[in-house]
Amino acid sequence: MGAETLLLTMNLDTVGQMSCNPAIGGLAKGHIVREVDALGGEMALNTDATAIQMRMLNSSKGPSVRGPRAQCDKKAYQFRMKFALENQPRLDLKQGQIAGLVVEDGEARGVTTNLGVRFNGKRIVVTTGTFLKALMHVGDNSVAGGRMGDGTSTFSDELKALGFQVERLKTGTPPRLNKRSIDFTKLDPQHGDSPPPTFSYLVDTIKKAPEDSFTLNEWKDGLFHVEQMPCWITHTTENTAQIIRKNLSRSPLYCGVIQGVGPRYCPSIEDKIVKFPEKERHQIFLEPEGRHTNEFYVNGCSTSLPFDVQIEMIRSIPGLGAAEFLRPGYAVEYDYCPPTQLWPSLETKLVRGLYFAGQLNGTSGYEEAAGQGILSGINAALESRGAEAWRPQRHESYIGVMVDDLVTKGTREPYRMFTSRAEYRLLLRQDNADLRLTERAGELGLASAERVRRTKEKRGEIDECRAKLGKARRDGKTLEDWLRRPEITWNDLPEEFQRVRGEIAEAVEADVKYSGYIARDLERIATLREMEGKNIPENFNYESVVGLKKEARQKLQEIRPKTFGQAARISGVNPSDISALAVWAMRK
């Protein structure tokens, strides 16, 4: 977008390092990655280039809930991403730990490092990950650090001093095992899909070059070539559960050492055993961390139990009886700022020109962080030149859903995106992220001209194909009417339509089959848009509104919604409160 930008990080050697599982995407998360790509971001291309297994989850279900997922080569992903950043025009990378913010007249003007160096900037985006006053727990051993082998930051003290509310969250990670110690004969293989489902709409631009040793996959002869590696499936046993129950008193999660709230939808193995006692076993995925390492990630076994208990527990699982640990599992507690302190642009309400993104806002996952990161970057660039911020709506993107949830409702536990959070998910499919966002990204100066051209071309092909379906007839009905029937698929159409490109056929079939539901959604959106578009002044005095419940008044005063639509979605604000607010506003 033309902005001179500095990326300041605690350690340049870990730019792009995947702290937990080296996997990208999944249900709803894959949608976000495709949206980041549609906007011109790097994540999807980097994932496609370094993937070692690619699958489409929920492929047997409807198109709105399918999501691509890729297991990546951990080091290749990291090094290729760093290379991309180092070669991005107008972007400087520098190593430094932020100690303070420079705030003048309520506006962020720069940062200072712990070495006393000051960097000035019109806009500041803060993305702290799990490093704020971070504490790692393995049994009764606690060590400062946001990731094993890395340090921590006390920057949250600076945020508190500025008046920000700061609270604690917790996340965790499982042990890493030596491949040579795993008995694969007792495991079930899980292979990738063929052809591999990709993330980027520009996947055909990925080419290997002699000087590029980190790009593992490439587009060649009209196909995307990936040498896929299998993952493996096993299960816990009753013995596993007994070992965990016997040692709960030694778990920092259950003996009161850990105060932060953990992720509900990615619980530790201790939580699974305690909260689901009726389950005889829990599924465990063994996933390779790369092509050139023996390190395996034990997905589904996040833990903070003592090291000796971890060994006993892991060795009670089929295939892992002689498992050797490369790294133990551990829990991490860290500071975050409840996101109701932000405007929908992700700018803070307290300090102008200061933006928060990622786990600082209480989210979990690489994908949620990437979605916030690109949006905060877009708005920092726009507002630095006096332009209005871009606020994607809930019917436009999963990024819009996520940000609206965060700034309107807040979160008391690590927020994870699900398709169920999006009320318009039939409109927000993973296959149409480019149609929803790329032309807008072109207007913002973010998406390249080539990316915009391709999107317009795709839209034209879809319209042309849909028109042909509406004209062609069979037994007195149009082929479009035939395709709406649940038992009819694209393969049942005449030969002429079998020559249509796969992504066009997929998009047209989804649009046709769900056209009735989509039309209903569009009507709802039009009705809500009228309310959504009615602005509430920033300095609106909710104390003066007659008829507001006390809880609603407190929530409205705290969040200060921009529009009536946003106000209506705040937890604790009901339709009668909105009516009272609307009547009062019209009178004034």
Tell me the one-letter amino acid at 91.
Answer: L
> 554 — alpha (psi -120 to 50), left (phi > 0) or beta?
alpha
User: Residue 219 has what DSSP assignment?
Assistant: E
> 25 — alpha (psi -120 to 50), left (phi > 0) or beta?
left
SS3 label, residue 77: helix
Q: Which two tokens stand for residue 408?
A: 């309107």
Q: Which two tokens stand for residue 573?
A: 């604000």
SS3 label, residue 334: strand
Q: Of the candidates 337, 356, 361, 338, which has an alpha carbon nearest to the alpha carbon of residue 346?
A: 356
Mean pLDDT to the nearest integer, 466-477 = 94
Cis omega (within 30 of 0) for bond into 196: no
The per-residue pLDDT for 565 is 83
The pairing of strands 5-9 and 91-95 is parallel
Mean pLDDT to the nearest integer, 132-158 = 91
What is the chain's mean pLDDT, rounded? Answer: 93
> Tell me: the pLDDT tens digits for 494-521?
999 999 999 999 999 999 999 999 998 8
List of E strands, 160-200: 167-173, 176-178, 188-190
The per-residue pLDDT for 148 is 83
> Tell me: the pLDDT tens digits for 280-321?
999 999 999 999 999 999 999 999 999 999 999 999 999 999
Backbone angles phi, psi at 478, to 5 degrees: -70, 155
Q: Of the candidates 377, 389, 46, which has an alpha carbon nearest to the alpha carbon of residue 206?
A: 46
Stretch among 84-93, 267-276, 377-386 having the lowest mean pLDDT: 267-276
> Tell me: the pLDDT tens digits for 314-370?
999 999 999 999 999 999 999 999 999 999 999 999 999 999 999 999 999 999 999
3-state DSSP percent of the chain in helix, strand and coil, to 5: 40, 20, 40
Radius of gyration for the chain, computed over Cα atoms and rounded to the nearest angstrom: 25
User: CA 44, CA 244: separation in Å to the nearest integer?
Assistant: 38
pLDDT-above-70 percentage for the chain: 99
The per-residue pLDDT for 210 is 82
> Tell me: the pLDDT tens digits for 41-72?
999 999 999 999 999 999 999 899 999 999 99
The per-residue pLDDT for 571 is 78
Quick one: CA dihedral 455, 457, 459, 465, positive or negative?
negative
> Tell me: the pLDDT tens digits for 529-573?
776 678 888 788 898 888 888 888 988 988 899 888 888 888 778
Q: Count H helices, E strands: the chain?
A: 18, 24
Cβ contacts of residue 161 below 8 Å, gap of 6+? Answer: none
Domain with CATH 1.10.150.570 in the chain: 533-587
> Tell me: the pLDDT tens digits for 146-168?
888 888 999 999 999 999 999 99
Stretch among 177-186, 202-211, 252-261, 395-404 having the lowest mean pLDDT: 252-261
Under 8 Å between Cβ of 435 and 33: no
User: CA 311, CA 116: separation in Å to the nearest integer?
Assistant: 45
> Tell me: the pLDDT tens digits for 222-247?
999 999 999 999 999 999 999 999 99
Domain with CATH 2.40.30.260 in the chain: 176-330
User: CA 513, CA 480: separation in Å to the nearest integer?
Assistant: 9
Q: Which two tokens stand for residue 439?
A: 């032309």
Quick one: CA dihedral 161, 162, 165, 166, positive or negative?
negative
User: Residue 428 has what DSSP assignment?
Assistant: S
Q: Which two tokens stand for residue 465?
A: 């194909």
In total, the chain counts a number of residues equal to 588
Torsion of CA 409, 410, 414, 420, to 10 degrees: 20
The count of C-alpha atoms lying within 13 angstroms of the C-alpha of 32, restricted to the half-sphere facing its C-beta, is 30
Give the bridge partners for 284, in sequence order: 234
Residue for token pair 């047997």: 60
Q: What angle do CA 231, 234, 240 make, to 5 degrees?
A: 140
User: CA 503, CA 487: separation in Å to the nearest integer?
Assistant: 21
- Does 259 score more than 80 pLDDT? no
Tell me the one-letter amino acid at 521.
Answer: D
Q: Which two tokens stand for residue 534?
A: 């009615």
Q: Of the candidates 378, 28, 42, which has an alpha carbon nearest to the alpha carbon of residue 202?
A: 42
Overall CATH class of domain 176-330: mainly beta
The per-residue pLDDT for 528 is 67
Mean pLDDT to the nearest integer, 470-492 = 94
Residue 124, judged by CB atoms within 10 A of its CB (0-12, 13-18, 19+), counts as buried
Residue 118 host element (H or E):
strand 118-120
Under 8 Å between Cβ of 7 and 91: yes
Backbone angles phi, psi at 404, to 5 degrees: -65, -40
Please state, in angstroms and as integers, the Cα–Cα distance from residue 114 to each residue in 110, 111, 127, following that order: 14, 10, 17
Query: CATH topology for 533-587?
Result: DNA polymerase; domain 1 (1.10.150)
- Does 588 score more than 80 pLDDT? no
